[in-house]
Structure 1
Amino acid sequence: MTLSGPSLLRQISLSAAVALVVSNMVGTGIFTTPGFLARDLGDPRLYFAIWFTGGIIALIGALCYSELGVNFPSSGGEYVFLTQAYGPVWGFMTGWTSFIAGFAAPVAATSLAFADYCGFFFPAFKQNNVYWHVGSGLWSLQIGGAQILACATVGVVTVANLFGVQRAAALQKFLTGLKLSVIATFVVLGLTVGTGNWDNFSLPTLRESSIPLGAQFGISLFYVYVSFSGWNAATYIAEEIRDPVKNLPRALMIGTSLVTVLFLVLNMVYVYAAPLGAMKGIATIGSLASSRLFGSQVAGLFSALIAIALLAMVNAMVTVGPRVVYAMARNGAFFATAAKVDPHWRTPVPAILMQAIVAMVMTLTTLPSLFFFIGFTLNFFSVMSVASLFLFRKRPGWKRLAPVSFLWPLLPIVFIVVGAWMTIFGLTIEPKIALVACLFIGAGALFYQRQLKGAAVWQPSSTAN
């Protein structure tokens, strides 16, 4: 049954919700994947086409989630949608997955990336400075300077989120504004005073992939898909957004559109700075671009700016993630203590602390393992959520958004087809991690069946309308 006690307040403005969406999207992907796309595609036209395609898919997902969020304006995101569509077992599994793979793991990965960029100035924080290591590959664990700084980062941001969502939202708006300002400055200076070359946009390079180009485009979309992840962030805090029927769709669409434009412009600067041949396989693409545009000394400045961007992303996920656990626990589908809200600060303190602890533990693994695990597990439930529209639209009283109804059911079908292909792709390229993800999801279902089978189906709270 639904637990009683202090509830969350509608105190997040449209601008704060947009800031959360933007910060959840602008993270490690845009600063690391361009070199891999250059290596595998080899053609500037395809390079920009794949980023544009990724933006379109993200916008389609945001539109579909907007309709879901308008009809279920309560915190929890996919947990709420899938519980209503397919039953409490599916709802618990997506909430369980969001807690671990959707937020705790990305918080850990982004904090490790933040530490690595800080390592430009303080080498002790670099990933290769490991004091203790055990295992290899997927199963390796390690402790070093990066893990220490990453845990400290998670701790500081967590404390900031405990004392009221307005403070966290204010911090988020500040960090997001600072992040967008420094990126905008880099873009403007890079295209005006940077020593780049417009001829780079017409210079192809030899592909290093043996996969046929048509198939490679689909495979490379995986990198872009992960880079755009986070477009659904506002649905997780719908219960705290002012006037959610109006502001939730706006937050999703404005945030996703801004990031799509931002990614395209940033990639223009990357290619203007260096041809695809020089970008091939380079993970620290921002440092490469700034070095070529302004000189090696400025590369350090851009590393600091990327660190700020990553810190903003950590704060956004620490703010959003615990609301999923709160929504589950309030319905009896998670540990009851996670449903508690501090009576003074009106924040889900136990849920916030739970996520922080799990994220700190996950910093002990490696970045590649985290990235593969995150990408495979999250895509599946996004597809399930969009597919639920076909069930919900049969219900009387369902509010249909005009953009989704346009050419219905084209938009959700496009999203589902792309997402289903991504799941198959994950199973074929990294079967071990895919197996771990499947076992993890299955463990959640088993835990629910044995411990929480009597949990009630989610019902809207008094603040939902």
Structure 2
Amino acid sequence: MAASEADYPSRAGRSGGAVASVSLPVATAIVIADMIGVGVFTSLGFQVKDIPSGFSILMLWAVGGLVSVCGALSYAELGAMFPRSSGEYNFLTRAFHPAIGFMAGWVSATVGFAAPVALAAMAFGEYGRAVLPNAPPMLLAVGAIWLVTLVQLGGIRQSSRFQLLSTVLKLGLIVAFLIAGYTIAAPQPVRFMPASADLGYMTSAAFATGLVFVMYAFSGWNAATYIIGELRAPEKTLPRALLLGTVMVLVLYIALNAVFLRAAPMDALAGQLQVASIAGGHIFGETGGRFVAAMICIGLVPSIAAMMWIGPRVLMTMGEDIPALSVFARRLPNGAPAYAVLFQLTVATLMLFTESFEAVLDLVQFSLLSCSFLTVLGLFKLRIAQPDLARPYRAWGYPVTPLIFLSVTAFMMYYLITTRPLQSGLGAGAMASGLLIYWFAHARSRRIAATAVSGSD
């Protein structure tokens, strides 16, 4: 049964103590920064091995972007209805049950954000070595996380300025790379117009498999839902930020892959991880690899910043609802949830030193996909069970757009179960552990309340 307003009076509004100061440009910057990581700079080499067609490759990225837009439309409706920070924790609590919300929050608050932060930081260290050959990658990785954490502890206004400026710089470098790529003197004879062979490529197993990894590159389109309580006029700002950010990334991803294909021969790209560096070498010559490494390094900083901003908000909101976690709900006068930020910093740093974050990331992928699937499924449940709820924004294209997202997400979950059964099983186990912890904590709270009542008698 869905949670009612009477059951959760504190959930009617924003997170306690939230400062509604985040503007549309900053919220959009968070979405863009969280989405554009290293995925788009590394995926193409494995796609062209089985799909040697420029048109089919671009269609692969276009399909991934359109599915992400469908997800953003669904989340926008839920976020406008329930303007409270924490993403799936909030939505699943309202649509299904607090236990389901806790399960999603448990995964996100423990490793769901810390593992991607560690992965991005390690990538920062590796690419940074190409720019600063004598700098230890681990030192660069740790330094990036700690620097961004200091920014987050400086408060929402400082975080907003840093996020906006760093994301604008990131976009500026990508646009400069695109311009250079499109003005290259000797482009490759790649075909971007459809041909008869493309239908076969686009209905192949390789296209379906490629879509799974493309969707990973698009992950982060829901980033602004984790800070809804800090948005100005969230019923308007959230839908615009999610859609604008996702569409901008969709355009950039298609343009980047077109440049990679235009700059370097497919044979040189096939099976290679560093496709951006290979393309950069053809565009800029000997300095190409260093320029691309610097571009990716600078671009990873706003990505880390976005995750270090939005991740702690899950734990913060859980702390507002669960007495045992109340310390994480405490905010500094500047609005920063200091304990929640420091908790995520600690987990991410430990992962860096244990170098276990890639394994953890494999484990949580199934859990994160499951939570997204349940969230969009919750949109249908709320439309049917509570049609009279105020909906400041309604998902465009309902029910088709959320059904598209559910279908592709279900396929990705099936792919993970069949290709990585152990990791998927452990991910499901992590979700189950969240449910067990919820019921244990809930039962303990009831016993304490019953003891207090009997003692007063």
Matched position secondary structure for 2:388: coil
Distance between the aligned counterparts of 2:190 and 2:183, measured in 1?
15
Please list, as runs of the form range in 1=range in 2, the aligned pairs for 1:33-112 lying within 5 A after superposition: 33-112=43-122
Superposed CA deviations along residues 383-410 of structure 1, whole A, max 9, x for unmatched, are 110000111113143345776353x321
Amino acid at match of 1:110: A
2:288 is the counterpart of 1:315: no
1:8 aligns with 2:36: no
Answer whether contact 2:85 2:225 (CA < 8 A) is retained: yes
- Say yes or no: does 1:328 pair with 2:329: no
1:192 aligns with 2:202: no
Deviations, residues 89-140 of structure 1 (Å, cap 9, x unaligned): 1101111112234311110110011111012134466xxxxxxxxxxxxxxx
Residues 1:168 and 2:178 are matched in the alignment: no
Matched, 1:416 2:406: yes
Rounded to whole Å, the distance in 1 between the matches of 2:89 and 2:445 is 13
Instruction: Trace 1:37-436 onto structure 2 (pairs within 5 A).
Output: 37-123=47-133, 145-193=136-184, 195-199=186-190, 201=192, 214-332=204-322, 335-342=325-332, 344-363=333-352, 364-365=354-355, 368-394=358-384, 395-400=386-391, 404=395, 406=397, 408-436=398-426
Q: How many residues align?
A: 430
Of Structure 1 and Structure 2, which has the larger fraction of its residues in helix? 2
Q: Which amino acid aligns with 1:161?
A: Q
Give the aligned residue type for 1:336. Answer: S
In structure 1, how many angstroms separate the alpha carbons of the residues matched to 2:442 and 2:145? 30
Query: Aligned with 2:49: secondary structure?
Result: helix
Q: What is the RMSD computed on CA atoms of the aligned residues?
A: 2.6
- State the TM-score, normalized to the length of structure 1: 0.87
Q: Deviations over 1:33-65 (max 9, x none)?
A: 111111232332221111000000000000010
Deviates more, 1:147-156 or 1:311-320: 147-156
Structure 2 residue identity aligned to 1:409:
P
3-state SS of 2:335 partner: coil
5+ long unaligned stretches in structure 2:
1-7, 196-200, 447-457
Query: Separation in 2 of the partners of 1:401 and 1:64?
Result: 13
SS in 1 for 2:130: coil
Q: Name the CA shift for 1:87/1:194 in 2 (closer, same or farther; >3 Å).
A: farther
Provide the rounded CA distance (Å) in 1 between the counterparts of 2:168 and 2:309.
17
User: What percent identity do the matched residue pairs reach?
Assistant: 34
Give deviations 1:323-364, integer Å, cap 9, x for gaps. Answer: 11111110117622111111x222111000011111111222
Instruction: Give the 3-state SS of the residue equivalent to 2:220 in structure 1.
Output: coil
Aligned residue in 2 for 1:440: 430
Q: How many angstroms does 1:277 deviate by?
A: 2.4
Question: Runs of 5+ in structure 1 lacking a partner?
Answer: 126-144, 205-210, 457-465
Counterpart secondary structure, 2:71: helix
Shift of 1:276: 2.5
Q: CA deviation at 1:416?
A: 0.8
- Alignment deviations for residues 11-35 of structure 1 (CA, whole Å, 9 cap, x no partner): 0001000000000001111111111
Aligned-partner Cα distance in 1 for 2:331–2:381: 33
Report if aligned partners of 1:201, 1:272 keep a CA contact under 8 Å in 2: no
Moved more, 44-53 or 330-339: 330-339
Find the aligned partners of 1:391 and 1:435 in 2 and give their Cα distance: 27
Change (3 A) 1:320 1:88: same
Tell me how far 1:265 sits from its aligned partner: 0.5
Please state whether the residue corresponding to 2:131 is helix, strand or coil: coil
Query: Judging changes above 3 Å, is the alpha-carbon distance between structure 1 residues 265 and 369 closer, same or farther for their aligned structure 2 residues?
Result: same
Conserved 8 A contact 2:366-2:428: no
Residue 8 of structure 2 corresponds to residue 19 of structure 1: no
Cα distance, 1:298 vs. partner?
2.4
CA apart distance, 1:212: 11
